[in-house]
Amino acid sequence: MENEKLFEITAYTENQVGLLSSIAGIFTRRSMNIEKLLVYPSRINGIHKFKITTRTTETLCRAAVQQIEKKVDVVKAFYEIDNERSDRERDIVIAFLEERERNNR
């Protein structure tokens, strides 16, 4: 059996009505408990940030993150084992958005 740990999931999203319940639904479906939830404007202009803490296995956590990132209005989603967080995520998101804008031209 795989061990349960505390994970912190971060999702960078467009600010879309209904996204909160849509993301919450992913946790409900696999009966994963949300221990902590924060939604706030990120430091990237126009992009919101979800921080979700959950206690689960890494396999389930990875699956949930992939399901979150699959949502049309989610830019990127990550997970870290709590306390091991890095600041790289924001840079990844900025680079992704810049590349997308370039592609759109």
Partner 1 sequence: MSEKAGKKITGAEILLESLIAQGVETIFGYPGGQIMPVYDKLYDYQDKLHHILVRHEQGAIHAAQGYARVKGKPAFVIVTSGPGATNVITGVADAMIDSTPVVVIAGQVSNAALGTDAFQETDLIGLTTPITKWAHQVRRPEDIAEAVARAAYIAGSGRPGPVVLDLTKDAQVGLAEYVEAKCSFIRSYVPVPEPSEESVEEAARMIDEARRPFVVFGQGITHSGAEAELAAFLDKGDIPAGSTLLGLSALKSDDPHYLGMVGMHGNLAPNAMTQECDLLIAVGMRFDDRVTGTVNTYAKQAKKIHIDIDASEINKNIKVDLGILGDAKEVLTRLTEKIRPRMRMGWKAASEYCRSIETEKVIDPEINPESGMIKPGEVIARIAESCDGKAIVVTDVGQNQMLAARYSRFSQGRSLLSSGGLGTMGFGLPAAIGAKTAAPDRQVCLFVGDGGLQMTIQELGTIMQEGTGVKIVLLNNNWLGNVRQWQQLFFGKRYSATRMINPDFEKIAQAYGLDIATVDDRKDLAPAIARMFADDKPFILNVHVEEEDNVFPMVPPGKSVNEIMLNSKEWFEYGK
One residue of 36, 70, 91, 92 binding partner 1 per CB under 8 A: 70
86: helix, coil or strand? coil
Count, residues near partner 1 per rule CB under 8 A: 23
Taking CA atoms, 8 is separated from 5, 11, 93, 99, 104, in Å, by 10, 10, 17, 26, 32
Nearer to partner 1, 10 or 13 (CB): 13
Q: Is 3 in the site for partner 1 (CB under 8 A)?
A: no
**Residues whose CB is less than 8 angstroms from the CB of residue 47 and which lie 6 or more positions away in sequence, other chains included:** 12, 13, 14, 15, 41, 75, 93, 97
One residue of 18, 31, 83, 84 binding partner 1 per CB under 8 A: 18
Give the binding site for partner 1 (CB under 8 A): 13-14, 17-18, 21-22, 25, 29, 62-63, 66-67, 69-70, 72-75, 97, 100-101, 103-104
